[in-house]
Structure 1
Amino acid sequence: MPMSDKPKAKLTAGTTTVSVGDRVTLICSVEKSAGWKYEWFRRTSYLSEYRLNDGENGEIRVSQGGIYRCRGSRGEPAFYSDTSDEVNIYITFSNKVIVTQKPSWSQIFRGETITLTCEVQGDEGVQWMYEWRTPQSQTSWRNNKDWTITASISGEYSCKSRSTYYSYPSTNWSEALSLSVSDKPKAKLTAGTTTVSVGDRVTLICSVEKSAGWKYEWFRRTSYLSEYRLNDGENGEIRVSQGGIYRCRGSRGEPAFYSDTSDEVNIYITFSNKVIVTQKPSWSQIFRGETITLTCEVQGDEGVQWMYEWRTPQSQTSWRNNKDWTITASISGEYSCKSRSTYYSYPSTNWSEALSLSVSGVLMFLLF
């Protein structure tokens, strides 16, 4: 090379194709001479050429696609070599893109809120933008990989990603996630039995068929109590001892999505308990003016609070809390009782078999 000819910088690249997120080494040199510092330049199809700020020692590592050149400078004032030939660095996307769904239920119902996520595997160190393709439309690019939607129609959802560096191409579309959207379901309420003896319990089961993730709410009303929500049974099963009209519904997700409420189930409380009247003292002959106590005994009454009503030869009492009734004997006749739980939703028992009380005249004592 004649001494008067200006040298030309040489740019070499480890590779001209690199996966997004990786880097490639570029080396600039001016052969057979020393003392050079180096300047680097980059442009794209839509960005004019600009100078990079690093790499004076002749080597840089880049992660952006684009068209690169370099030149050397030395001395004061600076003497510049001719600029190198261009090297085009291409960014490829080996990253796999997948769509995930949360909650991951296989069955989604119209009106439910779900979140779709565009996952770029091996995306360390890269800032991504995301685009979605739905059964109805295609979204614009957005910065958030999560996309929360209200389910409306069945179909396939896919996404693709692109680095926020515009010089990168986008990934291919992901494999589609197939979303099955059904009409709102109706809860189903089943009962072990609809008739239960007072003091016993019956199991109620609420379910929303062919779907998962539900919690359950229970409601009860009677002919004189408006409907109210019970405090237990989120797992879909409760045991109840009160009669009444029951309904249930399922809820899932955040915000909560509710199924339609179940049909009503009426639980009837029956009294298989036998009621008997006992007398104390148990003398067969009672005299007018004597004090005796009648007791209304409910057999098999464990765990139940009772009220009692009495029927006498002369009248019928009001309901009272005490099963014992102390009276002063006055007339002969039949005495019977019946019981009712303090839960007003329970009916009363039948009347007991009557206790026949024989009351004689006043006992006279003879003194000798």
Structure 2
Amino acid sequence: MEQAVLSTIIILSVLVPPRQTQEIPKPVLTLHHNYSKIYKGEPITLRCDIRNGKKSDWEYKWFQDGDLHNPVFSSNETEYIATPYSKKIYADFLVSRKKTGNFSCMAVRKSDRKQSQVSDAIELTIHAISAPEVKVSPSPWLRVGDSAMLSCEIQGSSEDWTYYWYRTIPYKDGLPSPWTKRFSMEMLPDVQHGTHGPLSFSNVSLKHIDVYACRAGRGNPEFFTEYSTAPELLWVSASSPRATLRVSPNRVQHFADEAYSVSCEAHGNSTGWKVKRFIYDKGQSECGTEWGTMTGSSCYINNTNTSEEPVYWCQSDSGEYSDAANITEHYFRSVVLESPILPVPEGQSVKLGCRHKTLPSNHRAEFYRYDKLIGSAKTGEMIIWSVSKSDEGRYWCTIPDLGESSSSWLSVRASSVSLHLSRALITWLLFALQMMYHFSLS
């Protein structure tokens, strides 16, 4: 009898297989990001999918660099959207000096707390992003009726950005003041939704005189860059200003311990004209208030001992303006480029000099337009003969083994003389063509 029962048990054990525990599959971690680069502080989405049961059956955990004991985030949702400074990932990872990190995820079944395997890791590379720079083309120095284009350029990034544009106003509580508490940034009302390219002005007038800044944004939620490195002045002069600004010595770059003067030469009476300046972190002021000594219509600036880039202009009591001039004062550089500060009429020649702070002037120097070498001279000077608009641009120089200057803009303005010559040349060519046609018929 016992043997029969035992046989029955053995047969049943063979016929009924043991109950197997259902295996939990490995989840799949994916990165959802619409751009080729991820920038520090930019939101990202890490999605953890497990193809077994309903999404609500699981709890999800995300890990960094293989640390499975300390998840950076846990949620009942499959997506982890990390926004700047609100989650541990940004506190420990993006704000740190690390540029790469491995991320993985795991699913935990709520019913029995069984854990899945850890997903395959994905590596994220976080890039630093520079503040954008405002650039004005063709020049920040314009006449009424000219056209200008302001671009907001981010070094090393050609992604699809939206650009937001601002002008400077006196400090106002509640508005951004990224550089100084002396003024704030106010968004331009005409482009509050931003632009997807440069900001263009056609037929400029005096109302466009302003100091402009920008920043860029992308994505949803939107990620913003910092504000541009420095605001950019856009200057518009009347077609025939009643006063001319003179700088002595006539050059853009000066050493900080050198004295120079800025004068207003009015066409008629110079009474009532004052010299004013703008420095981006100090705002606008008048000669004789916080700087310089005003004597008549001339302002004398002596020994600033700072590295600044003031913009000077003449302004009358009635609100008229002269041309403006941007001077660069160098405290740390040992080499400066000597170039004319005001626009040069077409057809004239321009002398460029490369000067060392302490050495004599007769030394070898190399001169560049943008990044292209245009000439070298043993005397430290070179001449551009009969300039034209094609010579306009940014120039700099270097003294081999001793240093290089910063760059300065050389502005070339069409003159009435060159215009008349062009018309005369066209008239002569038409006459010559008519004569050739006449002789060909005879």
Query: Normalising by structure 2, what TM-score?
Result: 0.39
Structure number with the higher strand fraction is 1
* Relative contact order, higher structure (CA 8 A, sep 6+): 1
Query: Normalising by structure 1, what TM-score?
Result: 0.46
Q: Which of the pair has more CA radius of gyration?
A: 1
